A = this chain, B = another copy of it.
């Protein structure tokens, strides 16, 4: 793997260029084909190579960045920064959901769903607002859980298996209420993460996380 990486890096193998097949490389490098396969597969996952059956392996044209973002619990995220965590439930009620939500959940317009809003604090200062809709038609027992102590974020992650999710990163101007909760001015630019979590084909929950001003999500390439 190191040798192949070296050849790519030194441009001995140029971007777009086809490299020898696994069998040949194994002979040349004096190792088993499985070993070559493992190395090339890993490099392909890293985005340095493009592999296709029959067509062979090529050096990726654009060393396309693949950033892996970890999406931890909000509590873990805050504690990882060495700050104290505090949680306030702002509201938990069954109410008619907006169209954007019922549509994702494949329910008729105006269906009543569980709506949970909460504020997470780091070192006694507002960190993020959690605004969540939960599809109680799939999880009716959830109407009896109180999120006063344990956040919905945490409860769901620990108790609800899911198969996949959609995430959107964006920005929005703070509404009056958001500004108040996050101790900032109306219209301040806030970083927003929206997430929908699915189990098979059914949407379980949608959440919007509105972060305090200046918050940045960091990752490595």
Interface set of A (CB-CB < 8 Å, partner B): 9, 11, 15, 61-73, 76, 157-158, 161-162, 164-173, 187-192, 194-195, 197, 214-221
> Copies per complex?
2
Question: Given A64-B72, A165-B220, A168-B217, list of 18 further CB < 8 A pairs?
Answer: A62-B73, A65-B70, A65-B72, A65-B165, A65-B167, A66-B71, A67-B68, A67-B167, A69-B69, A69-B219, A167-B218, A168-B218, A169-B169, A169-B218, A170-B171, A171-B192, A173-B188, A197-B221
- Determine how close the nearest CB of chain B comes to the CB of A92; give it in whole angstroms: 22
A62 to B173, CA, bound (A): 32
CA distance A144 to B153 in the complex (A): 52
Contact B62 A158 (CB under 8 A): yes
- Given A164-B221, A166-B218; A171-B158 close (CB under 8 Å): no
Q: Kindly identify which residue among B66, B166, B172 contacts A70, using a CB–CB cutoff of 8 Å.
A: B66
Complex Cα gap A15–B162 (Å): 13
**Across the A-B interface, the 5 shortest Cβ-Cβ residue pairs:** A65-B71, A165-B221, A171-B171, A189-B189, A170-B216
A215 touches B170 (CB 8 A): yes
A117 CB to nearest B CB, Å: 20
Contacts of A167 in B (CB 8 A): 65, 67, 218-221
CB of B161 within 8 A of CB of A190, answer: no
Please indicate the chain B residues that have their CB under 8 angstroms from the CB of A169 in the complex: 169, 191, 216-218
Q: How far is the CA of A145 from the CA of B65 in the complex (A)?
A: 24
Chain B residue with minimal CB distance to A168? B216
21 A-B pairs with CB atoms under 8 Å apart are A11-B161, A15-B158, A62-B73, A63-B161, A63-B162, A64-B71, A65-B70, A66-B70, A67-B69, A68-B68, A166-B221, A167-B221, A169-B169, A169-B217, A169-B218, A170-B171, A171-B189, A171-B190, A173-B173, A188-B189, A189-B190
- Find chain B residues with CB under 8 A from A71 CB: 64-67, 221
